[in-house]
Amino acid sequence: MLALSLYIPFSPELLQSTSVVSLRILDRNGYLLREVLSDKEGRSQWVSLKDISPNVILATVAAEDSRFYEHWGIDTRAILRATLQNIRARKIISGASTLTQQAIKSIHHFPRNWFWKFVEIWHALRLEISLSKDEIITQYLNRIPYGNQTFGINAASWLYFDKPPSHLSLAEAALLAGLPRGPSIYNPYRYFLRAKKRQEEVLRRMLNKGVVTQEEYRRALEEPLNIIPPQVSFRAPHFSDFILSRIPLKERQNISSIRTTLDIELQKDIETFVKNCVESLKEWKVTNAAVLIMDNERGEILSLVGSADFFDSHHSGQVSGVTALRQPGSSLKPFTYALALEKGMNPATLILDAQIRIRSNGIDYVPRNYDGKFHGLVRLREALACSYNISAIKVLERIGVESLLDRLKKLSFDSLNKGADYYGLGLTLGGGEVTLLELVRAYSTFARSGIFKKEKIFLDINDIQGKTKPLPEDEPVRLFSPQVSYIITDILADNDARIPAFGAGSVLSLPFPCAVKTGTSGNFRDNWAIGYTPHYTVGVWVGNFDGKPMRNVSGVSGAGPLFRDIMLLLEKREKRINSNFAIPEGLIETYVCPHSGMLAGSSCPGRIKEIFIKGTEPKKVCNLCSIVESFTLSLSKSPLFCFSAFLAHPQST
């Protein structure tokens, strides 16, 4: 019966590598960002026998079980010798375990007593019947602990020598082969001399067995062992968390490595920028900031910084400002205006910026402009560039909250999960809560001439067998026409148009084309700068995770300077020559009157060049200025005074 039971096969799951595999998260060039330890709190990377240096196999057999290829699971000679030793010592001091038995122990973790010793032997005999010698030693080499939380030769080889196990020299292989006997006793970090002695013993055994020559033995003894000091990889912590959040726990066990889109060199620079920015805004009661950088062409996330310091628990450093829900302030306005352009308005359309009362989130209120003033009739270009609140409300009133909300949902603002009635017209002023990630991917749509793409964070995913898993590609979707996208870009990149609100030469004026929008939520709780060049979209948030207001920090003084620094850095890296936004067909340029938005006439005090989607351009020549002119001639005062009310734009921060 017992003999027959040896033929019970092992379940394949038991021999699979899943339970000990740790997951390595890499940057786009293969640098380790984080190694997620397995369930057993260990590092392990399964490796097949052909990828292990023969030195390791020879050294392991010599060190642990010199008759491995001759016995059938247990080594009777060794057991006899060990039993005598144990009886003399009256306790188990020598196990005489074969590699097969040790493989079994690392699969089952039996308690250490006589009964379980027999169970172990029974399993070892079974394993010899089920598997070939090569398969057994593969199990051993992948499961056995090598100390310092490493399981298996692959993880050990990387940890101690920073190289794959196929590249281990004889001297290195002998050192590693000696460790499983006592991973803490021979810990090369703590007791290097002991580990070296053990290595010499393994080499001597190899020489005695005749698997190495005298010459190889001598050279291996002399070879200096360059043990890499232990290094903890915990780079781009919020990004690594973000990666893990996208992989269900169940799937994680089958993955050994993930090459992500992150660029660690860029990431390090951005982390420094964020730290410095928060430091410089300390007096303004700013404790945190977050940044997200996307490559527009492929939608790849190149850098993600979730807070100023991940380990600063006092300021909730582990919260990620990239995925936290925050009020976006004015940063949703460009989408409101994009819809207005779709509905036939143009950049010269006049909008009345005067006192109104609206209802948002169930509350009646009178929206105010940032500068506390009303600006009278303003052109759509100025209204967006200067971020006037009341004009945005007026425009949204015309296009309808429903259609804005609908488009925002198509742009993957999943956080806006309530109905249009709930948000009301306040939606365009940032009444709903969104994330920096949602904002960045939505803005990148304009940079891509209206094509929406989900962010890409994975380049390759390798499973535990080393196979690359196919990654599903999200289909790009057109959400705005190239013409509408271009006009929004042109307005957001128009340094002159925002002068009335932001002043000339503000931090938002960059020495290359760059579209940008700032936002500040109520009571200075959140501060945003989101924008793009043809190549990159950058989102910056500044604020406090505990919701405490900052002191008078606006988009220009808070997030703006950080945004500027990042864009300048990216532009320096950029090797592509053409950094102008591509102008699509179907647009025309014409001169309009700055006051009426109609075609400029002879009485107009000036004329400005404006772009229009063909067919939406003004058809009539300005008659307003000539009326005003004749009025001023007859009555020398009041009408001009009224009229000039909306011509003069006070400076504000």
- Residue 641: burial class (beta carbons within 10 Å; 0-12, 13-18, 19+): exposed
Asked if 592 touches Zn ion (CB under 5 A), the answer is no
Residue span binding Zn ion (CB under 5 A) among the ranges 65-73, 412-420, 606-614, 617-625: 617-625
- Residue 460 burial by CB count (10 A; 0-12/13-18/19+): exposed, middle or buried? middle
Phi and psi at 362, nearest 5°, equal: 80, 10
Q: Cβ of residue 246: shortest distance to Zn ion, in angstroms?
A: 55
- Distinct helix (H) and strand (E) counts, the chain: 25, 20
Taking CB under 5 A as the binding criterion, the range among 40-48, 325-333, 574-582, 590-598 that sits at the site for Zn ion is 590-598
- Report d(CA 242, CA 440) in Å as an integer: 15
Would you say 146 or 646 has its CB closer to Zn ion? 646
Residue 324 and residue 437 in contact, taking contact as beta carbons nearer than 8 Å: no
Q: Which helix (H) or strand (E) holds 295?
A: strand 288-295
DSSP type of residue 528: E
Q: Which is closer to Zn ion, CB of 292 or CB of 624?
A: 624
Q: How far is the CB of 599 from Zn ion (least distance, A)?
A: 9
Question: Which range of residues in 93-101, 178-186, 228-236, 623-631 is near Zn ion by CB under 5 A?
Answer: 623-631
Under rule CB under 5 A, which residues in 158-177 are in contact with Zn ion? none
Whose tokens are 């599903």? That residue is: 472
Q: How far is the CB of 624 from Zn ion (least distance, A)?
A: 5
Q: Check binding of 593 to Zn ion (CB under 5 A).
A: yes
- Nearest residue relative to Zn ion (C-beta): 593
In the DSSP assignment, the letter for residue 285 is: T
Encoded tokens for 547: 């919701």
CB of 349 to Zn ion, least distance (A): 15
Judged by beta carbon, residue 175 or residue 377, the one nearer Zn ion is: 377
- Our CB check for Zn ion shows the closer of 501 and 604 to be 604
Q: Which is nearer to Zn ion, 510 or 640 (CB)?
A: 640
Q: Residue from 599, 604, 611, 628 that binds Zn ion (CB under 5 A)?
A: 604
Nearest distance from residue 328's CB to Zn ion, in Å? 36
Torsional sign, CA 552, 558, 561, 563 = negative
DSSP symbols for 626-638: HHHHHHHHHS-SH
From 5-13, 508-516, 619-627, 645-653, span contacting Zn ion (CB under 5 A): 619-627
Cα-Cα-Cα-Cα dihedral sign, residues 17, 18, 23, 28: positive
622 binds Zn ion (CB under 5 A): yes
Backbone φ and ψ of 331, nearest 5°: -70, -10
217, HSE (Cβ side, Cα atoms, 13 Å): 15
Between residues 223 and 629, which has the closer beta carbon with respect to Zn ion? 629
Residue type, 176: L
Q: Rounded to whole angstroms, how far apart are CA atoms 2 and 157?
A: 40
Per the CB < 8 A criterion, the answer to whether 28 and 259 are in contact is yes
Query: b vs e for 39-61, b when ≥16 Cβ sit within 10 Å of the residue's Cβ?
Result: eeebbbbbbeeeebbebbbbbbb
Residues within window 624-643 making contact with Zn ion, judged by CB under 5 A: 625
- Nearer to Zn ion (CB atom), residue 497 or residue 624: 624
Q: How many CB atoms lie within 10 A of CB 15?
A: 16
Q: Which sign does the torsion angle of CA 209, 215, 220, 221 carry?
A: positive
Stretch that binds Zn ion, among 40-48, 179-187, 432-440, 595-603 (CB under 5 A): 595-603
Minimum separation from the CB atom of position 643 to Zn ion (A): 10
Cα(565)–Cα(563) distance, integer angstroms: 6
Shortest distance (Å) from residue 524 CB to Zn ion: 39
Least distance from C-beta 593 to Zn ion, angstroms?
Answer: 3
Amino acid occupying residue 276: N
Which one of the spans 114-122, 170-178, 588-596, 640-648 is the region binding Zn ion (CB under 5 A)?
Answer: 588-596
Query: Rounded to whole angstroms, what are the CA distances from 364 to 174, 332, 360, 388, 400?
Result: 78, 21, 6, 19, 18
Task: Let me know: does 625 contact 593? Beta carbons within 8 Å.
Answer: yes
Please identify which residue in 240, 253, 596, 616 interacts with Zn ion, judged by CB under 5 A: 596
CB closer to Zn ion out of 304 and 377: 377
126 vs 379 by CB, closer to Zn ion: 379
Q: Pick the closer one to Zn ion by CB: 236 or 377.
A: 377
74 vs 625, beta carbon nearer Zn ion: 625
Point out which span in 42-50, 381-389, 437-445, 620-628 binds Zn ion (CB under 5 A). 620-628
In whole angstroms, the minimum distance from the beta carbon of 241 to Zn ion comes to 56
Please, what is the minimum distance in Å from the beta carbon of residue 374 to Zn ion?
21
Q: What angle do CA 403, 404, 409 make, to 5 degrees?
A: 95
Report the nearest approach of Zn ion to the CB of residue 629 (Å).
9
Cα–Cα distance, 204 to 209 (Å, whole number):
9
Q: Which stretch binds Zn ion (CB under 5 A): 30-38, 311-319, 360-368, 591-599?
A: 591-599
Considering only residues 315 to 344 of the shown chain, the ones binding Zn ion according to CB under 5 A are: none
In the complex, what is the shortest distance from the CB of residue 625 to Zn ion, in angstroms, rounded to a whole number? Answer: 3
How many whole angstroms separate alpha carbon 49 and alpha carbon 44? 15
**Nearer of residues 308 and 593 to Zn ion, judged by Cβ:** 593
Q: Is 293 in the site for Zn ion (CB under 5 A)?
A: no
Q: Which is nearer to Zn ion, 68 or 643 (CB)?
A: 643
Q: Which stretch binds Zn ion (CB under 5 A): 30-38, 179-187, 211-219, 585-593?
A: 585-593
Q: Which stretch in 43-51, 276-284, 473-481, 589-597 sits in contact with Zn ion by CB under 5 A?
A: 589-597
**8 A C-beta contact, residue 563 and residue 611:** no
How many residues bind Zn ion (CB under 5 A)? The answer is: 5
Closer to Zn ion at the Cβ: 436 or 593?
A: 593
C-beta closer to Zn ion: residue 226 or 602? 602
Distance CA 374, CA 147 (A): 71
Q: Least separation, in Å, of the C-beta of 348 and Zn ion?
A: 11
The binding site for Zn ion (CB under 5 A) comprises 593, 596, 604, 622, 625
